[in-house]
């Protein structure tokens, strides 16, 4: 999708972090932006901040609640009639060993990170199919490719997004539909969500992440990975034994220690 002018772009989790930055960049390109977020104070603030750039509409939505998703979908369609680009960006992380998680933490992580993108897309995709036009961008994670201590549930949710999202892309291609699908698999991003993470590999700057996501959508790129080295993960998993891969990724690169001092967003 090369031209965003006058397109309706819906971003979940768009009141802060890369969601807010994406909204800002799309507005600069002449799009109309629709933001879903659970934080009402941040929604009001982002609307005030970004309205000077163009048309911004905000909706308080709890995407862990399927009925709330359905109600928000109806409101968006009543107000805007269609969504041209859907960006499933909202997500949470609980940095604990698996045995330390509560059942509620497991359920909530899966509901927000894995189930919600599918439920939301299932609604808006029906309308895209009717007009044979649209774009869906799903924010997964490099954790969808590399297992990591203290990220077991988060990794599970993001593996789910990657598998579902890329399958959806292939389905749209097989059905010869004019509906693009991109899956984003970034390394840690410096937005506050992963505060406390220590990494030899540089933590990504939000502005660069957003620029790459938008370029990926413009070029209908199936998988948008960053940094570039993430592209080689599957290759190395294929040629190395698990023991050697663990040694290289865990001991040499230190990936398996990155969450040791995790604090997260306050």
Residues serving a catalytic function are: 154
Chain centroid offset of residue 140 CA: 5
Q: At what angle do helices 152-174 and 116-131 cross, to 10 degrees?
A: 10
Report whether 257 contacts 198 (CB < 8 A). yes
Scanning the chain, the segments in alpha helix (DSSP H) are: 17-28, 40-50, 66-80, 103-110, 116-131, 152-174, 206-218, 233-239, 242-246
> What are φ and ψ of residue 185, in 5° steps?
-125, 75
At 37, which helix (H) or strand (E)?
A: strand 32-37
What angle is formed at CA 63 by the lines to CA 110 and CA 129, rounded to 5 degrees? 100
Nearest to 164 by CA among 187, 144, 135, 134: 144
The tally of CA atoms less than 13 A away on the side-chain side of residue 80 is 26
- Transcribe 125-193 into DSSP letters: HHHHHHHT-EEEEEE--GGGTS--TT-HHHHHHHHHHHHHHHHHHHHHHHTT-SEEEEEEEE--BSSST
């Amino acid at each position: 999708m090369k031209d965003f002018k006058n397109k309706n772009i819906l971003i979940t989790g768009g009141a802060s972090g890369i969601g807010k930055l994406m909204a800002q960049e799309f507005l600069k390109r002449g799009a109309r932006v629709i933001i879903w977020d659970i934080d009402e104070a941040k929604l009001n603030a982002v609307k005030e901040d970004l309205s000077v750039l163009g048309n911004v509409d905000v909706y308080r939505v709890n995407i862990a609640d399927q009925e709330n998703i359905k109600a928000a979908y109806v409101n968006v369609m009543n107000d805007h009639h269609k969504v041209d680009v859907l960006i499933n960006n909202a997500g949470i992380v609980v940095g604990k060993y698996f045995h330390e998680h509560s059942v509620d933490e497991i359920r909530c992580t899966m509901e927000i990170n894995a189930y919600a993108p599918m439920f939301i897309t299932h609604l808006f995709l029906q309308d895209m199919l009717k007009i044979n036009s649209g774009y869906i961008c799903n924010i997964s994670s490099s954790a969808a490719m590399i297992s990591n201590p203290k990220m077991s549930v988060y990794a599970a949710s993001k593996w789910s997004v990657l598998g579902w999202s890329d399958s959806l892309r292939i389905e749209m291609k097989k059905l010869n539909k004019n509906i693009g699908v991109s899956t984003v698999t970034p390394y840690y991003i410096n937005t506050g969500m992963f505060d406390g993470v220590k990494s030899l590999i540089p933590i990504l700057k939000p502005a660069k992440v957003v620029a790459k996501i938008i370029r990926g959508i413009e070029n209908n790129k199936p998988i948008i990975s960053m940094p570039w080295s993430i592209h080689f993960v599957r290759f190395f998993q294929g040629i190395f034994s698990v023991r050697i891969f663990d040694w290289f990724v865990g001991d040499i690169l230190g990936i398996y220690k990155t969450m040791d001092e995790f604090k997260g967003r306050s």
